[in-house]
Amino acid sequence: MSNPPRQLLLCFLSRFGLLYLLAATIYSTTIYAQQIATPATSDIRPQREAAAATVTSTPVTTGGGTTGLVPVFTGASTVGNSIIRANSTSVGIGVAPSSYGVLDVGGPAIFRGSLGLARTGNASPSTGTNSVPLLFGFQYYNSAAKFVYNPYFSLQAEATGNNTANPAGTMSLLYYNGIGGKPAETGFYFNTNGTIHFAPSQTFPIDAGPSGPQGPAGATGPAGSQGPAGALSLPYQGSADGQGYYVFTILNTATDGSGGIYARGAQSSGGSADGGVGVKGLGGGNGSGVGSSGGDGVGGMGSASFTAGTYGGNGGTFRGGQGAGAGGDGVLAIGADSVGGNAAGGNGIDAYAGAGAVYAGAFHGNVDVSGNLSKAGGSFRIDHPLDPENKYLSHSFVESPDMKNIYDGNAITDSSGRATVELPDWFEALNRDFRYQLTTIGRPAKVWIAAKVSNNRFIIQTDEPGVEVSWQVTGIRQDAWAKAHRIPVVEDKAIPDKGKFLHPELFGHPEEDTVMQGSNPRRHR
């Protein structure tokens, strides 16, 4: 008498790394393994049926089974329960079958072949197809809705640029809120060229982390790993609405005055090559190439170059942008106001010459100064008129304790010994307190001022007619700016400057005794 039939689910792992399930019907609790020899001949013509091979059977018994569990050989001739559960719609490995999917694995798994997520269909000129998503689920309780939600993130490959000359794809992160609808794009994805894209207006708040371990003693630490060849870039995209907002911000939260960004251009390696630029900024429209505030807004140090014929790098190089109206300024410098006590604000530009250099500033073109120009001395220097290839010619300025203007000329007296000198129509509006100098030319004669400056003219008188006279008139400025900005001839030094000098080396004092002009202590560091 035979036992009732039983269902058997057999599992196979193919050479492609894929899992196959095969159902079979068992009509007896005794199972016979049979091996049939394959004929060695390759002749496929019909032949007489071969005699039945001798069959060696081994009786197999069960130790009892559980409904829904796939049996497995537990010994050479015994069958027991495996960890695989199955029903009519799904399979569970290590866990009961789930109503969510066809396969549910309840534990770690190792795949020794490729794990592929198939695409959802075939592409056409009208649409591309994406991959099946890989889901990462979680669960939370919403106190307002008093409900448990099951949201998830998903990763999926998405076709881009379908039906174009340059189609591509992205690996995109999506999010489903567990309430309804479909998963939505988060804006984070990887491009086929290896770049990473973040959501628009993305910020990266980073708290200060713990200090790293102290490096080895000595001048230099060990060399780090070599980076990739070629230039590096940050392919971030974003937008900032309104002034004072920035697409990319680096914030240093340390309290020791360390920098936010350190950039160093490559040094020149020989010949007459120049080193690379440390930081290059290009502003858009009327924007600044490099905008900064606080401490030193921009701190720059050019790279050194010790090869003959090369120059050290510039600390900062700025160039204004072209404009349809007017071009932009190369440097716009504004000193900051002081907000405490009686301290003075900062200088717009504070420049020092390097060791052995002649000039703290070199201007190749016209210079416009709208305020007062204070200096220790002044001169002009030109190529020598008689030997311009080999020499310079210099003259010093004429100085005075007043804002003095000088005017001169020559005049010849008429038959009555008089000469009227006409001056510009703005002369008396600009000047006051006139001084006169007269000298006869060619012969001695008495000469004097017959009438002082009035209505922008004065009169010279000689005791003989036809005398040539060289005249000079000086006046002190009385225009509005001069009245508001008289230059004090002698003034006391401010208290912080007492005991200090503009040029301490001329008085036998060290450089530390230099007056801090503008009372800005940051200029000496």
Q: How much is the average pLDDT of 26-55?
A: 45
Its pTM stands at 0.47
Tell me the pLDDT band of 313, cut-offs 50, 70 and 90.
low
Question: How far from 258 is each of 217, 251, 252, 264, CA to CA, in Å?
Answer: 21, 11, 8, 16
Looking at per-residue pLDDT, the higher value among 296 and 446 belongs to: 446
**Residues 347-383 pLDDT 10s:** 778 777 777 777 888 888 888 888 888 888 889 899 9
User: SS3 for 404?
Assistant: strand
Beta carbons of 259 and 250 less than 8 angstroms apart = no
- How far apart (Å, rounded) are the C-alpha atoms in residues 119 and 126? 16
Q: What is the mean pLDDT of residues 223-244?
A: 55
Which of 59-63, 217-221, 462-466 comes out lowest in average pLDDT?
Answer: 217-221
Contact (CB, 8 A) for 114 and 17:
yes
Question: Strand, helix or coil at 427?
Answer: helix
3-state SS track over 98-164: CCCCCEEECCCCCCCCCCCCCECCCCECCECCCECCEEEECCEEECCCCEEECCEEEEEEEEECCCC
What is the C-alpha to C-alpha distance for residues 105 and 197, in angstroms, rounded to an integer?
33
User: Tell me, what's the pLDDT at 450?
Assistant: 98
Contacts of 162 (CB under 8 A, 6+ apart): 123, 125, 127, 128
Q: Report the Cα 75 to chain-centroid distance in Å.
A: 68
The percent of residues in the chain predicted with pLDDT above 90, rounded, is 34
Least confident piece of the model among 87-96, 271-280, 346-355, 388-397: 271-280
Nearest to 97 by CA among 107, 106, 86: 86
DSSP reduced 3-state for 517:
helix
Query: For 455-492, what is each residue's pLDDT tens digit?
Result: 999 999 999 999 999 999 999 999 999 999 999 999 99
CA atoms within 13 A on the CB side of 464: 11
Q: What are the φ/ψ torsions at residue 272 (nearest 5 degrees)?
A: -115, 25
Residue 96 is predicted with a pLDDT of 79
169-215, pLDDT tens digit by residue? 999 999 999 888 889 999 999 999 889 988 877 766 555 455 555 55
Integer Cα distance of 134 and 86 in angstroms: 23
> Quick check: 233 pLDDT over 60?
no
Instruction: With beta carbons less than 8 A apart as the criterion, state whether 474 and 435 touch.
Output: yes
pLDDT at 518 over 80: no
Tell me, what's the pLDDT at 515? Answer: 86
- Distance between start and end Cα atoms, the chain: 107
* pLDDT classification of 259: cutoffs 50, 70, 90: low
SS (H, E, C) 438-503: EEEECCCCCEEEEEEEECCEEEEEECCCCCEEEEEEEEEECCHHHHHCCCCCCCCCCHHHCCCECC
The phi and psi torsions of 400 (rounded to 5 degrees) equal: -155, 160
Q: Which residues are 142's β-sheet partners?
A: 147
Q: Please say if the pLDDT value at position 155 is more than 50.
A: yes
Q: Residue 136 above 80 pLDDT?
A: yes
Give whole-number Cα distances, 23 to 6, 70, 88, 129, 206, in Å: 10, 10, 11, 34, 56
> If you average pLDDT over every residue of the chain, what do you get?
76
Percentage of the chain lying above the pLDDT 70 cut:
62
* Better-scored residue on pLDDT, 263 or 479: 479
Token look-up 């014929």 returns 309
Q: What per-residue confidence (pLDDT) applies to 28?
A: 40
Quick one: fold of 404-478? Elongation Factor Tu (Ef-tu); domain 3 (2.40.30)
Domain boundaries, the chain: 6-33+58-105, 134-197, 404-478, 495-520
pLDDT digits over 407-421, tens only? 999 999 999 999 999
pLDDT number for residue 302: 55
pLDDT of residue 383: 94
What local confidence, expressed as pLDDT, does residue 334 receive? Answer: 79
Give per-residue burial for 197-217: e unless 16+ CB within 10 Å, then b: bbeeeeeeeeeeeeeeeeeee
